[in-house]
Chain A
Amino acid sequence: MALSATVVVGGCSSSEESTPAGSSSASRSSTLNVFAAASLKKTFTAIADEFEQQHQGVKVTLSFDGSSTLVNQIKQGAPADVFASADEKNMDKLGEQAVDPEIFATNTLVIVTAPGNPKGITSFADLNKPGVTTVVCQSAQPCGNATDTVERNTGITVAAASEEQSVTAVLTKVTSGQADAGVVYVTDAKGAGDKVATVVDPAFAAVVNSYPIATVQGAANDAMAKEFVDAVLSPSGQQILAGAGFGKP
């Protein structure tokens, strides 16, 4: 209660010299800073484009990076109005600074291989077959965390040639032929099109990654931030996300 009061007071004093509080927040600050997980790049760019069309004069500035990197940036005072995380763990790390987080999408893991699956990989266990070079995400990343969970659930530990720092790095190692197989999200595999073949292990279904979105405490443009969150949750936003392969919340 005390916290939100401070924010309101802060908001008022900053708007004193501009328009009266009632005359719409849009004219007060026309830039909305959205920090989103790297895996949301395509979908959030599309949603932001639509949002800008519907809100004349509003410029949505998108910052994409690993969720944990973004959390650290926000904690260090980066000016984020909205934060969309690739997992709940990183949203939790933001603590009280995340206002009313809501799940807006889900993602599951898949195995990607070279087109045509030359190594004949059909399951998670096959990643340990001799002669198969596999890369996975580093444990601190949501995709790595999810892979760890699959390992725990199945009792299969993947002997990875490399623990990549992002899911896109895993994908690149596979599409460039550096690795034979990688564990990525279904959305990454879909985004890569025919550059990869996709293998689904039944064990993946049990490990669903939820993507939460929240406005950031003390956002410079609180009302607009809430509208952006609503846009992501709206049927049109959900359609864009579904088109990229994201699951329903």
Chain B
Amino acid sequence: MIRRPSGPAGLPAWLYLPAALGITLIVLPPVALLTKTPWSTFLEQVASESSRQALVLSLQTAAVSTVLCILLGVPMAVVFARHDGMLSRVLRSLVLLPLVLPPVVGGIALLYTFGRLGLVGEHLRAIGIDIAFTSTAVVLAQTFVALPFLVISVEGALRVAGTRYEEVAATLGAGPTRTLWRVTIPLIVPSLLAGVVLAFARAMGEFGATITFAGNAPGITQTAPLAIYVAEIDDPQAAIPLSLVLVIVSLIVVVGVHTRRRGTGQVAS
């Protein structure tokens, strides 16, 4: 029997057609954006006061959200990875909810939580904290949607890494906190970085929850995606340059994650 020649990894040749179609579907829209970009005025438009303001706000709020994601997400991931009870499993599913929730629904839910008449917002307001229409609201919206990305990246890595080293550390007399800092965290650094980058990218791209919950005030709550949306209403052409900048930022982020993955081969998400 003579085997038919096939692809380099012994793949059936027909597989390449749907694969190519899939790649086209994803790559074509950003390319289309490139072809429609008014290059002569590109820099001028990106550097315009409103675009610049929105980009700066996006970068700032996404950075704060990412820090919050690390502070809240890593402990959560560790707890979930080391507990397999019913409660842990239920809580873990709940934490992933923002991942699948339509962003606008997330925004409405946040409104009824941290809004002025919200579950928590009402009490915050009573003590003089009003987060409606502030950059804090933007950060909350971004953290809400980005947190699951960090949790699943880190938790997956912790599960793959197992508990062998931690057990060894314990037998050598290291306390739980010391073990966490010296053994557990270093083991998952690559995945942690990947999770951080993903969370940052998701925070940068947040739109639905932000516009629903935080509102749209230039310089305060108008992040880059909101500025793009608002520009698109009036003049679709004007929305393109800033859109392209976000594509580029996202591209840098995913390329960053991808190279990490190849290096470690153990990022689970």
Q: Which A positions have Cβ atoms within 8 angstroms of B?
A: 66, 68-69, 72, 133, 135, 138-141, 160-165, 169, 173, 176-179
Contacts and interface: CB of A to CB of B under 8 A. Distances in A.
Given A163-B230, A177-B117, 12 more contacts: A72-B236, A133-B133, A135-B133, A141-B233, A160-B217, A161-B133, A162-B216, A164-B215, A165-B230, A177-B115, A178-B116, A179-B132
B81 interface: no
Interface in B101-125: 111-112, 115-117
Contacts of B217: 160-163
Contact of B115 (A135, A139, A165, A176): A176
Contact of B218 (A135, A141, A163, A165): A163
Interface in B222-269: 222, 229-230, 232-234, 236
Interface of B: 111-112, 115-117, 132-133, 211-212, 214-218, 221-222, 229-230, 232-234, 236
Contacts of A165: 211, 216, 229-230, 233
Contacts of B221: 162
Nearest to A114: B117
Nearest to B133: A161
Contacts of A133: 132-133
B139 to A, nearest CB: 16
A172 to B, nearest CB: 8
Contacts of A164: 215-216
B53 to A, nearest CB: 13
Nearest to B211: A165
A72 B234 CA distance: 9
Nearest to B130: A133
Nearest to A145: B234
Given A135-B215, A178-B116, A161 B230 contact: no
Contacts of A160: 217
Given A133-B132, A177-B115, A178-B111, A163 B216 contact: yes
Contact of A69 (B111, B218, B222, B233): B233
Contacts of B222: 163
Contacts of A139: 234
A94 B215 CA distance: 29
A66 B234 CA distance: 11
A179 B217 CA distance: 13
B138 to A, nearest CB: 11
Contacts of B116: 176-178
Contacts of B112: 176
Interface centre among A133, A163, A164, A179 (most CB of B within 10 A): A163
Contacts of B232: 72
Contacts of A68: 233-234
B240 to A, nearest CB: 13
B227 to A, nearest CB: 11
Given A72-B236, A165-B233, A178-B115, A138 B132 contact: no
Nearest to A166: B233
Nearest to B221: A162
A69 to B, nearest CB: 7
Contacts of A169: 211-212
Given A140-B230, A178-B116, A161 B236 contact: no
Nearest 10 A/B pairs, CB to CB: A162-B215, A140-B234, A177-B117, A161-B133, A140-B233, A177-B116, A162-B217, A68-B233, A178-B132, A178-B115
Nearest to B122: A177
Nearest to A89: B234
